[in-house]
Structure 1
Amino acid sequence: MTDTTARVRELNLYRQYFDLVAAGTKTIEVRVKYPHLADLAVGDTIRFRIKGTDETCEVKVVRVTEYTDFESLLDGEGPSSVNPTATRDKQLANIRAIYSPEKEALGALAIQIGPLA
Protein backbone atom coordinates (compact mmCIF):
# COMPACT_ATOMS: atom_id res chain seq x y z
CA MET A 1 0.00 0.00 0.00
CA THR A 2 1.33 3.43 -0.87
CA ASP A 3 0.74 6.61 1.08
CA THR A 4 -1.00 9.20 -1.11
CA THR A 5 -1.50 11.73 1.67
CA ALA A 6 -0.65 15.27 0.63
CA ARG A 7 2.37 16.63 2.43
CA VAL A 8 3.52 20.05 3.58
CA ARG A 9 6.92 21.11 2.25
CA GLU A 10 8.84 24.08 3.61
CA LEU A 11 10.89 26.06 1.10
CA ASN A 12 12.70 29.36 1.48
CA LEU A 13 12.05 32.29 -0.85
CA TYR A 14 13.66 35.68 -1.31
CA ARG A 15 11.41 38.58 -0.30
CA GLN A 16 10.80 39.77 -3.87
CA TYR A 17 9.47 36.36 -4.94
CA PHE A 18 7.61 35.76 -1.68
CA ASP A 19 5.63 38.96 -2.19
CA LEU A 20 4.64 37.87 -5.72
CA VAL A 21 3.50 34.46 -4.44
CA ALA A 22 1.55 36.03 -1.57
CA ALA A 23 -0.15 38.41 -4.04
CA GLY A 24 -1.05 35.48 -6.33
CA THR A 25 0.78 36.93 -9.34
CA LYS A 26 3.61 34.38 -9.37
CA THR A 27 2.07 31.05 -10.36
CA ILE A 28 5.21 29.09 -11.30
CA GLU A 29 7.99 28.44 -8.79
CA VAL A 30 11.36 27.45 -10.26
CA ARG A 31 13.55 24.92 -8.47
CA VAL A 32 16.46 22.67 -9.29
CA LYS A 33 15.45 19.01 -9.46
CA TYR A 34 17.07 18.10 -6.16
CA PRO A 35 16.48 14.56 -4.84
CA HIS A 36 14.41 15.89 -1.90
CA LEU A 37 11.92 17.37 -4.40
CA ALA A 38 11.68 14.26 -6.59
CA ASP A 39 8.41 13.15 -5.00
CA LEU A 40 6.75 16.58 -4.93
CA ALA A 41 3.21 15.93 -6.13
CA VAL A 42 -0.04 17.61 -7.09
CA GLY A 43 -2.03 18.31 -3.95
CA ASP A 44 1.00 18.87 -1.73
CA THR A 45 1.17 22.12 0.21
CA ILE A 46 4.24 24.33 0.04
CA ARG A 47 4.89 26.63 2.97
CA PHE A 48 7.17 29.34 1.66
CA ARG A 49 9.23 31.14 4.28
CA ILE A 50 11.44 34.17 4.07
CA LYS A 51 14.68 32.78 5.47
CA GLY A 52 15.43 33.98 8.97
CA THR A 53 11.86 35.13 9.64
CA ASP A 54 8.57 33.68 10.80
CA GLU A 55 6.78 35.07 7.73
CA THR A 56 5.13 32.29 5.71
CA CYS A 57 2.71 31.82 2.83
CA GLU A 58 1.08 28.49 1.99
CA VAL A 59 0.09 27.40 -1.51
CA LYS A 60 -1.13 24.21 -3.15
CA VAL A 61 0.89 22.34 -5.82
CA VAL A 62 -1.23 22.26 -8.98
CA ARG A 63 1.32 20.74 -11.40
CA VAL A 64 5.01 19.77 -11.49
CA THR A 65 6.80 19.75 -14.86
CA GLU A 66 10.44 18.79 -15.45
CA TYR A 67 12.72 20.62 -17.88
CA THR A 68 16.33 20.06 -18.88
CA ASP A 69 17.36 23.63 -18.06
CA PHE A 70 16.09 27.06 -17.04
CA GLU A 71 15.85 28.39 -20.61
CA SER A 72 13.54 25.53 -21.60
CA LEU A 73 11.48 26.12 -18.47
CA LEU A 74 11.00 29.83 -19.17
CA ASP A 75 10.12 29.11 -22.80
CA GLY A 76 7.69 26.34 -21.83
CA GLU A 77 5.96 28.11 -18.96
CA GLY A 78 6.13 31.72 -20.10
CA PRO A 79 8.17 34.25 -18.16
CA SER A 80 5.13 36.16 -16.88
CA SER A 81 4.05 33.11 -14.85
CA VAL A 82 7.46 32.90 -13.19
CA ASN A 83 7.90 36.61 -12.49
CA PRO A 84 5.48 39.12 -14.00
CA THR A 85 7.77 42.01 -13.06
CA ALA A 86 10.87 40.99 -15.05
CA THR A 87 11.81 40.22 -18.65
CA ARG A 88 12.75 36.70 -19.70
CA ASP A 89 16.43 37.62 -19.97
CA LYS A 90 16.45 39.27 -16.53
CA GLN A 91 14.73 36.24 -15.02
CA LEU A 92 17.22 33.87 -16.59
CA ALA A 93 20.09 35.95 -15.17
CA ASN A 94 18.43 36.06 -11.73
CA ILE A 95 17.81 32.30 -11.65
CA ARG A 96 21.38 31.57 -12.74
CA ALA A 97 22.68 33.92 -10.04
CA ILE A 98 20.94 31.67 -7.50
CA TYR A 99 21.81 28.28 -9.04
CA SER A 100 25.23 27.28 -10.39
CA PRO A 101 25.62 25.53 -13.78
CA GLU A 102 26.28 22.28 -11.88
CA LYS A 103 22.95 22.58 -10.12
CA GLU A 104 21.13 23.53 -13.33
CA ALA A 105 22.55 20.36 -14.88
CA LEU A 106 20.39 18.36 -12.41
CA GLY A 107 17.34 19.61 -14.28
CA ALA A 108 14.72 22.23 -13.54
CA LEU A 109 11.26 21.96 -12.01
CA ALA A 110 8.37 24.24 -12.83
CA ILE A 111 6.00 23.99 -9.90
CA GLN A 112 2.62 25.48 -10.68
CA ILE A 113 1.11 26.82 -7.48
CA GLY A 114 -2.30 28.10 -6.51
CA PRO A 115 -4.18 29.22 -3.44
CA LEU A 116 -5.19 26.69 -0.80
CA ALA A 117 -8.80 25.62 -1.34
Structure 2
Amino acid sequence: MSTTPDTHVHDLNLYRQYFDLVASGRKTTEVRVKYPRLEKMAVGDHIRFSVKGTDESCLVRVLAVTEYPSFEALLDGETAASVNPTATREQQLANIRAIYGPEKEALGALAIRMQLV
Protein backbone atom coordinates (compact mmCIF):
# COMPACT_ATOMS: atom_id res chain seq x y z
CA MET A 1 0.00 0.00 0.00
CA SER A 2 1.29 3.46 -0.80
CA THR A 3 0.16 6.93 0.05
CA THR A 4 -2.03 8.89 -2.34
CA PRO A 5 -2.32 12.68 -2.63
CA ASP A 6 -5.39 12.45 -0.33
CA THR A 7 -3.59 10.48 2.39
CA HIS A 8 -2.56 12.56 5.39
CA VAL A 9 0.85 11.56 6.78
CA HIS A 10 1.73 12.39 10.38
CA ASP A 11 5.44 12.42 11.28
CA LEU A 12 6.08 11.23 14.84
CA ASN A 13 9.21 10.24 16.75
CA LEU A 14 9.57 7.10 18.85
CA TYR A 15 12.15 5.92 21.32
CA ARG A 16 14.26 3.12 19.87
CA GLN A 17 12.67 0.32 21.94
CA TYR A 18 9.16 1.26 20.77
CA PHE A 19 10.23 1.91 17.19
CA ASP A 20 11.69 -1.60 16.95
CA LEU A 21 8.38 -3.07 18.19
CA VAL A 22 6.37 -1.06 15.64
CA ALA A 23 8.78 -1.84 12.78
CA SER A 24 8.55 -5.57 13.56
CA GLY A 25 4.75 -5.45 13.64
CA ARG A 26 4.58 -6.49 17.32
CA LYS A 27 3.31 -3.13 18.63
CA THR A 28 -0.06 -2.41 17.03
CA THR A 29 -1.37 0.35 19.33
CA GLU A 30 0.44 3.65 19.84
CA VAL A 31 -0.31 5.80 22.89
CA ARG A 32 -0.21 9.57 22.54
CA VAL A 33 -1.39 12.62 24.44
CA LYS A 34 -4.35 14.25 22.73
CA TYR A 35 -2.40 17.26 21.49
CA PRO A 36 -4.33 19.64 19.22
CA ARG A 37 -2.15 18.62 16.24
CA LEU A 38 -3.32 15.00 16.60
CA GLU A 39 -7.05 15.74 16.98
CA LYS A 40 -7.66 15.36 13.25
CA MET A 41 -5.89 12.01 12.96
CA ALA A 42 -8.32 9.64 11.27
CA VAL A 43 -8.74 6.09 10.04
CA GLY A 44 -6.82 5.69 6.78
CA ASP A 45 -4.16 8.29 7.64
CA HIS A 46 -0.55 7.19 7.74
CA ILE A 47 2.05 7.73 10.44
CA ARG A 48 5.74 7.85 9.60
CA PHE A 49 7.55 6.90 12.79
CA SER A 50 11.21 7.82 13.08
CA VAL A 51 13.93 7.36 15.64
CA LYS A 52 15.06 10.88 16.45
CA GLY A 53 18.55 11.63 15.14
CA THR A 54 18.55 8.77 12.63
CA ASP A 55 17.33 8.14 9.07
CA GLU A 56 15.31 5.12 10.22
CA SER A 57 11.57 5.26 9.69
CA CYS A 58 8.58 2.99 9.16
CA LEU A 59 5.13 3.71 7.81
CA VAL A 60 1.86 2.52 9.35
CA ARG A 61 -1.78 2.96 8.42
CA VAL A 62 -4.21 4.14 11.10
CA LEU A 63 -6.98 1.56 11.70
CA ALA A 64 -8.72 3.29 14.62
CA VAL A 65 -8.28 6.26 16.97
CA THR A 66 -9.91 6.01 20.39
CA GLU A 67 -9.88 8.78 22.96
CA TYR A 68 -9.59 8.09 26.69
CA PRO A 69 -9.61 10.45 29.70
CA SER A 70 -6.37 8.97 31.12
CA PHE A 71 -3.59 6.50 30.40
CA GLU A 72 -5.04 4.14 33.00
CA ALA A 73 -8.42 4.17 31.22
CA LEU A 74 -6.63 3.60 27.92
CA LEU A 75 -4.81 0.52 29.23
CA ASP A 76 -8.14 -0.75 30.64
CA GLY A 77 -9.76 -0.33 27.22
CA GLU A 78 -7.00 -1.65 24.98
CA THR A 79 -5.12 -4.92 24.88
CA ALA A 80 -1.95 -4.31 26.90
CA ALA A 81 0.05 -6.61 24.60
CA SER A 82 -0.90 -4.45 21.61
CA VAL A 83 0.57 -1.37 23.33
CA ASN A 84 3.79 -3.09 24.42
CA PRO A 85 4.12 -6.87 24.18
CA THR A 86 7.27 -6.82 26.33
CA ALA A 87 5.84 -5.16 29.46
CA THR A 88 3.08 -5.74 31.99
CA ARG A 89 0.18 -3.30 32.26
CA GLU A 90 1.72 -1.80 35.42
CA GLN A 91 5.11 -1.38 33.74
CA GLN A 92 3.44 0.22 30.74
CA LEU A 93 1.54 2.71 32.89
CA ALA A 94 4.75 3.66 34.71
CA ASN A 95 6.67 3.98 31.40
CA ILE A 96 3.97 6.14 29.78
CA ARG A 97 3.74 8.40 32.82
CA ALA A 98 7.55 8.74 32.87
CA ILE A 99 7.32 10.15 29.32
CA TYR A 100 4.22 12.30 29.85
CA GLY A 101 3.64 14.16 33.10
CA PRO A 102 0.24 14.70 34.77
CA GLU A 103 -0.30 18.01 32.95
CA LYS A 104 -0.01 16.19 29.60
CA GLU A 105 -2.21 13.29 30.70
CA ALA A 106 -4.88 15.85 31.68
CA LEU A 107 -5.23 16.69 27.95
CA GLY A 108 -6.54 13.16 27.32
CA ALA A 109 -4.99 10.05 25.80
CA LEU A 110 -5.25 8.58 22.31
CA ALA A 111 -4.97 4.91 21.45
CA ILE A 112 -4.01 4.66 17.79
CA ARG A 113 -4.48 1.17 16.34
CA MET A 114 -2.24 0.66 13.33
CA GLN A 115 -0.70 -1.78 10.91
CA LEU A 116 2.51 -1.68 8.94
CA VAL A 117 2.24 -0.47 5.36
TM range (shorter): over 0.9
1:1-117 equivalent positions in 2, closer than 5 A: 5-116=6-117
CA distance in 2, matches of 1:98, 1:7: 26
CA distance in 2, matches of 1:52, 1:36: 22
Query: Deviation of residue 109 (structure 1)?
Result: 0.1
The gaps in structure 2 that reach 5 residues or longer are 1-5
The Cα RMSD (Å) is 1.1
Equivalent residue pairs, number: 113
Match of 1:53, SS?
coil
**Which amino acid letter does the alignment assign opposite residue 25 of structure 2?**
G
The gaps in structure 1 that reach 5 residues or longer are none
Q: TM-score, with normalisation over the residues of structure 2?
A: 0.94
**Which amino acid letter does the alignment assign opposite residue 109 of structure 2?**
A
Summarize deviations over 1:47-79 as a string: whole Å, max 9, x none: 000011110010000000000000000010021
Q: TM-score, with normalisation over the residues of structure 1?
A: 0.94
Q: Is the 8 A contact 2:23 2:116 kept in 1?
A: no
